[in-house]
């Protein structure tokens, strides 16, 4: 899959183009990408996706922007797995925010990306002040494929709904909306080795989620291995608070440093807490591990 970090000046090969933020890659996003791939095969076009970095709401209202469900790397991995050939990652800045709906259609979609088919959700908005809608694509005589909402239990599937499920610790609903367990990925980096000193060595996973949709202590799977994860700022440890994802893999003595790992979140054990010293923290970690073991015993293997 080719990744472009800008809109090319030269006219691109004819493509079918899906446009969206694709945060979390839930079932609605997956339906959009399936339709994209079907369209390219039927019409002999290149499959392409346009997405944005940062999320437009992060640009306009960073203090109230929604939590991110996936990093850009994770998003690109999901898009590649869907069979997409090209991705255009548009830098959402002041200049891009001022592009009018008309310029977006004619300068970007037609004269640069050579979009022969446009695949978007029925409520898609674009252009300065979000003035453009699917009606503008139709008026411009573009080959528009507008997908209706994808629903679960009578309600529209959305990134907002996934965030709410994760914040509530409802991993069953989150997995139903996503079509898979919610996960994060990252490289294992060296830390201060405090977990090892407490008797619970951890893999410190480099965080790409500056505002994760969940925090606390969880039973997780790290590349298929049973584990306990703490996602938060470690309030008991002195120093400058820093968001960290620490994973203790049960009954594991191997080396994970510098490996890129995937962590699936399966069950919330508790919220992050501050303890009166390391002895109290160690006792709580032992209790968390016991809860996780009981959880994994109760899970029926697929």
- Number of folded domains that form the chain: 2
Predicted pLDDT at 42? 96
Mean pLDDT of 160-179: 96
The whole domain housing 43 covers 2-156
Mean pLDDT of 112-128: 95
Residue 166 lies in a domain: no
Q: Which H or E run includes 41?
A: helix 27-43
CATH number at residue 249: 2.40.30.30
For 72-117, the DSSP string reads: HHHHHHHHHHTT--EEEEEE-SHHHHT--HHHIIIIIIITTS-EEE
Looking at the structure, do residues 76 and 196 belong to the same domain, yes or no?
no
C-alpha to C-alpha distance for 173 and 181, rounded to whole angstroms? 10
C-alpha to C-alpha distance for 254 and 126, rounded to whole angstroms? 49
Position 296 confidence tier, pLDDT thresholds 50, 70, 90 = very high
Q: How many residues does the chain have?
A: 302
C-alpha to C-alpha distance for 250 and 47, rounded to whole angstroms? 42
Instruction: Give the model confidence (pLDDT) of 71-83 as tens digits.
Output: 999 999 999 999 9
Looking at the structure, do residues 196 and 74 belong to the same domain, yes or no?
no
Looking at the structure, do residues 28 and 129 belong to the same domain, yes or no?
yes
Residue 299 tokens read as 């899970």
Q: Residue 143 class from Cβ within 10 Å (0-12 exposed, 13-18 middle, 19+ buried)? A: middle
Q: Is the pLDDT at 193 greater than 90, yes or no?
A: no
Mean pLDDT of 251-257: 88
Residue 259 lies in a domain: yes
Mean pLDDT of 150-160: 94
Looking at the structure, do residues 194 and 126 belong to the same domain, yes or no?
no
Mean pLDDT of 279-285: 88
């Amino acid at each position: 899959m080719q990744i472009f970090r800008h809109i090319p000046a030269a006219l691109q090969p004819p493509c079918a183009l899906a446009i969206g933020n694709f945060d979390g890659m839930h079932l609605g996003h997956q339906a959009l990408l399936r339709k994209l791939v079907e369209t390219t095969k039927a019409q002999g076009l290149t499959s392409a996706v346009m997405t944005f970095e940062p999320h437009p709401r992060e640009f306009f209202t960073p203090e109230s922007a929604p939590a991110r469900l996936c990093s850009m790397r994770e998003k690109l991995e999901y898009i590649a797995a869907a069979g997409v050939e090209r991705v255009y990652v548009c830098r959402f800045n002041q200049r891009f925010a001022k592009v009018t709906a008309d310029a977006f259609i004619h300068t970007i979609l037609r004269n640069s990306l050579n979009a022969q088919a446009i695949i978007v959700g029925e409520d898609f908005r674009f252009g300065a002040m979000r003035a453009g809608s699917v009606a503008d694509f139709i008026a411009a005589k573009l080959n528009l494929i507008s997908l209706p909402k994808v629903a679960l239990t009578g309600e529209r599937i959305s990134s907002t709904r996934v965030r709410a499920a994760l914040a509530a610790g409802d991993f069953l609903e989150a997995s139903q909306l996503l079509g898979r367990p919610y996960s994060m990925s990252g490289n294992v980096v060296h830390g201060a080795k405090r977990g090892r000193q407490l008797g619970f060595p951890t893999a410190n996973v480099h965080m790409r989620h500056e505002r994760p949709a969940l925090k606390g202590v969880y039973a997780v799977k790290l590349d298929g291995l049973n584990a306990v994860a703490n996602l938060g700022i470690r309030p008991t440890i002195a120093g400058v608070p820093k968001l960290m994802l620490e994973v203790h893999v049960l009954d594991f003595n191997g080396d994970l440093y510098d490996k890129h790992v995937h962590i699936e979140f399966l069950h919330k054990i508790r919220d992050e807490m501050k303890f009166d010293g390391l002895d109290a923290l160690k006792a709580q970690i032992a209790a968390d591990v016991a809860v996780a073991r009981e959880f994994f015993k109760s899970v029926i293997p697929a």
